[in-house]
Amino acid sequence: MNRAPPIIQGALCSMNCLAALLGVFLGLKPVIGRDASQSQPNFLLLLADDLGIGDIGCYGNSTIRTPNIDRLAEDGVRLTQHLAAEAVCTPSRAAFLTGRYPIRTGMTSGNGHRVLQWAAGAGGLPAEEITFAKILKEQGYVTGLIGKWHLGLNCHSSSDHCHHPLSHGFQHFLGMPLGMMGDCAVAEPSEKRMKLQRRLHLCSQVAAVASLTLAAGKLTRLIRAPRWMLVLVLAATTAMFAAASRHVGDFIIYADCFLMRNHTVTQQPLRLERVTGLMLREAETFLQRNKHHPFMLLVSFLHVHIPLVTTEDFHRRSKHGPYGDNVEEMDWMVGQILDTLDREGLTDNTLVYFASDHGGSLESRVGHVQLGGWNGGYRGGKGMGGWEGGIRVPGIFRWPGVLPAGRVVDQPTSMMDVFPTVVLLGGGAEPKDRVIDGRNLLPLLRGETQHSDHEFLLHYCEVFLHAARWVQRDRGRVWKVHFMTPNFHPEGAGACYGSAVCPCFGDVTEHDPPLLFDISADPGETHPLNPDSEPEFHEVVGKLRQEAVRQWSSLSQIHQQLGTIYNIWRPWLQPRCGEFPHYGCDLEE
């Protein structure tokens, strides 16, 4: 199995003025009007959940209406090869905030646990990791997070908040510590409820058979049965498992589907019908309150993850059912937030970024109704470690007067690049005591360079290296090899229907030699190359194997935060509000 390695501002006014005067006299029109180093910009980062790159108008969709996101692209820079570090939520978001592969931060596992499973688990983004929020806070920024976190909460008690957003540089938080899921609405497909119900039902059946067998043996004297007390205990156990099976859905709603405002649980369970308005008002209020200070606001949408919670105003608005309605509502929210920037006079000094944490979910469907996103012409989707559909995401930057409007960049970039970009623009410096895998995007965004600063990008699925790409700058080609790919069910379906996501190991195909694609010519990964058809086959594969070994040697031993020991429900870590036995509250009214 192909397991991953353990892995000036100076006194330049006179020169600028002279350049401007020369421009006027010569009739030149500058593409970029302001120097990015002249002041600390604000940062507004907009992150969708499970959005497919093909779901947006500016990326080719003509049937879902996204005018506000499209406006961002028209006024800014659109990236066409923007890549998530992983194809599922938790590791991708950890990489986005730290600029580091998840395998470096421990935000992964090797046992099938792809994301944090419980709000009351002990896993999360380690305290020693440095987020861009932490650095910007040190530079005088007001930092806020609204929406989904999904990077852990507690370590040892229900109030230590070791993994909480406020422990990672955010000063204000309103959102869900875990994130939206079908179980929050007792809707299908279910991420946890159905699996737990099956297990509890099986346990109740085993206990029932055992108690009946012992009772029959006691009555008939066919076996030397123990005392009746054991039979009664087994019968009680049967009843307990049966009751738990019936009520596990209600338990999940209280355990995982709740809101926190800073360190306080303020709504438990989550009021689905009110959450969109609440998040939007919070974002608008944050911008209004902090318009006289440099700020960084991360709006981490609960859209467009199942159960596709959409307000009545957007029901049946789209040609694509509940999913399309949800996308269009999110686009409306983007528009409302951008309008607030305009009203408060913040637009020109705010760098806006829009992306999705990974590709759309192909397996999110009930019957023939598709509840997940469309990944355009790219193969695969959410959870598939190497296929483009799981990791190629929309990426848009807008900063009027600094970034050229309407620019399109067709070079490989990573969501990890946001870390060094905003840190340097905010006046901070990258940490020197660790490897930062992201690269400063500003020169590429401004058109000062035409090539990605990434020569290699590796694509992990848990701790397993599924794929890697090499940007061959002198030839203008982007090569990609697949060492492992998931087996689709049914065969040829392009997804793992019947499962939440495709596996990283086990039911996969290991390729030797690896599959090789020229992504620059075949972005849909439909025509694998071989030594007969591609003279550079062995050179490319050898180069990428060498890079994998090099990165292996740069990894250090670290606890896997998504491993089983950290990723089980622990009662003493459960956040709650209210008093026993009437847990629950709504302080957001």
pLDDT tens track for 478-506: 999 999 999 999 998 999 998 889 999 99
Per residue in 518-565, pLDDT (tens digit) is 999 999 999 999 999 999 999 999 999 999 999 989 998 899 999 989
| CA proximity to 563, closest of 255, 149, 123, 155 | 123
| CB atoms near residue 359 (< 10 Å) | 32
Residue 103 confidence (pLDDT) above 90: yes
Active-site pick, 82, 89, 358, 482: 89
Of 221-230, 399-408, 434-443, give the lowest mean pLDDT range. Answer: 221-230
Alpha-carbon 423 to chain mean position: 20
How much is the average pLDDT of 167-189?
Answer: 92
| CB atoms near residue 393 (< 10 Å) | 27
Q: How confident is the model at residue 428 (pLDDT cuts 50, 70, 90)?
A: very high
In angstroms, the Cα distances linking 16 to 11, 29, 30, 33, 299 are 10, 14, 12, 11, 36
Q: Say if residue 586 is exposed, middle or buried (CB neighbours under 10 Å; 0-12, 13-18, 19+).
A: middle
Q: How confident is the model at residue 45 (pLDDT cuts 50, 70, 90)?
A: very high
Strand 350-356 versus strand 42-48 pairing type: parallel
Of 28-32, 197-201, 314-318, give the lowest mean pLDDT range. Answer: 28-32
- Return the pLDDT at 192: 74
Active-site pick, 113, 150, 161, 168: 150
Of 22-26, 92-96, 256-260, 381-385, give the lowest mean pLDDT range. Answer: 22-26
Catalytic residue list contains 466: no
- Return the pLDDT at 589: 79
Residue 191 confidence (pLDDT) above 90: no
- Return the pLDDT at 16: 42
d(CA 392, CA 82): 6
The interaxial angle of helices 67-75 and 321-343, nearest 10 deg, is 50
Residues of the chain with pLDDT > 70, as a percent, come to 85
User: Rounded to two decimals, what is the model's pTM?
Assistant: 0.90
Give me 58's structure tokens.
Answer: 């500016």
Residue 22 confidence (pLDDT) above 50: no
Q: Residue type at 119?
A: A
Q: How confident is the model at residue 14 (pLDDT cuts 50, 70, 90)?
A: very low
Catalytic residue list contains 89: yes
Selected residue with higher pLDDT from 562 and 220 = 562
Judge contact between 373 and 54, C-beta under 8 A. Answer: yes
- Return the pLDDT at 221: 65
Q: How confident is the model at residue 150 (pLDDT cuts 50, 70, 90)?
A: very high
Q: What is the mean pLDDT of the chain?
A: 89
- Return the pLDDT at 25: 35
Share of the chain residues as helix, strand and coil, in percent rounded to the nearest 5: 35, 20, 45
**DSSP code string of 331-388:** HHHHHHHHHHHHHTT-GGGEEEEEEESS---SS-EETTEE-S---TT-S--TT-SSSH
- Return the pLDDT at 293: 95
